Structures are given as structure tokens and as C-alpha cells.
């Protein structure tokens, strides 16, 4: 039986072998394609660690009335959780879930926050459940 991570870097060896042509020297903190998305994050997000344009991240945000529309890069077939926080101050409440979305289409997802607060800024983040083949 071969362990899933024989080299102990926190990423499955079969995934490393596939994406790095058998080069098992990559580190979880590394950034092979220099897209500011670490190799371990590429594994979790199911993105291509050798393609700088393959990542999960914000593309566009715009507000109309009390609705904020968010567009982000995503991998087809994956589920994403959108969370918000109305202030980043230490004493403020933490992140709270707004909803989940499955990317059924191309490489982008559009999601709408219909509870956007008036007269304040809202911070958003995308949570990506670990890939499970």
C-alpha cells in the first residue's frame, strides 16, 4: 500500500505526479505558475498549478440599489461557499455564510448578495471545499 502523501508535503502524490510530470519536489507553499495561488491551494481548488490563468478569485463586483453582484473565476462542477463580514475590526463578528453556488457552466460564476447593507462596506470571501475525486 502506497501512502497518499509519501513525501509529506500535504498534497496527494498522484496529483503531484500528474501535474508536475513526475516531479515530486514541489512544496505546498510553492507557486509553480507564479499566479499568487500556492500549489496546495491549486490542489484544493482543482485548478491547474501550471497555468497562471487557472485560479479561483474575484473578477468583478458591482452594486445596484441594495444588491451586490459578484463574479469570480471558478472550476466547472465545483461548489463554492460565499461568506461576508461587514467589518474587519478584531472586535466585530466573524465571517458569516451568505450562500453556496455550483459552477455548472464555464470558468466564471455570478452570485448576487441581495442583503447588502446600506451605508457600509461588506467584505467577501470564497470558501472552497477540498476536492474529493
- Cell numbers placing 67: 444588491
DSSP 107: S
The answer to whether residues 103 and 75 touch, using CB atoms and an 8 Å cutoff, is yes
CA distance 56 to 18: 20
The dihedral built from the CA positions of residue 132, 33, 123 and 118, taken in this order, carries a sign that is: negative
Q: What share of the chain is helix, strand, coil (3-state, %, to 5)?
A: 10, 30, 60
* pLDDT value of position 29: 93
Tell me the mean pLDDT in the region 59-67: 89
Q: Would you place residue 50 in the very low, low, confident or very high pLDDT band (cuts 50, 70, 90)? A: very high
Tell me the mean pLDDT in the region 26-45: 91
Amino acid at each position: 500500500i502506497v501512502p497518499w502523501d509519501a513525501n509529506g508535503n500535504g498534497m496527494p502524490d498522484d496529483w503531484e505526479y500528474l501535474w508536475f510530470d513526475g516531479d515530486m519536489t514541489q512544496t505546498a507553499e510553492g507557486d509553480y505558475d507564479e499566479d499568487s495561488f500556492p500549489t496546495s491551494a491549486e490542489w484544493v481548488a482543482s485548478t491547474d498549478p501550471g497555468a497562471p490563468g487557472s485560479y479561483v478569485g474575484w473578477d468583478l463586483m458591482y452594486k445596484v440599489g441594495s444588491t451586490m453582484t459578484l463574479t469570480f473565476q471558478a472550476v466547472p462542477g465545483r461548489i463554492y461557499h460565499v461568506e461576508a463580514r461587514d467589518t474587519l475590526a478584531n472586535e466585530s463578528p466573524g465571517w458569516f455564510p451568505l450562500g453556496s453556488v455550483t459552477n455548472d457552466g464555464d470558468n466564471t460564476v455570478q452570485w448576487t448578495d441581495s442583503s447588502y447593507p446600506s451605508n457600509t462596506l461588506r467584505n467577501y470571501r470564497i470558501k472552497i471545499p477540498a476536492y474529493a475525486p
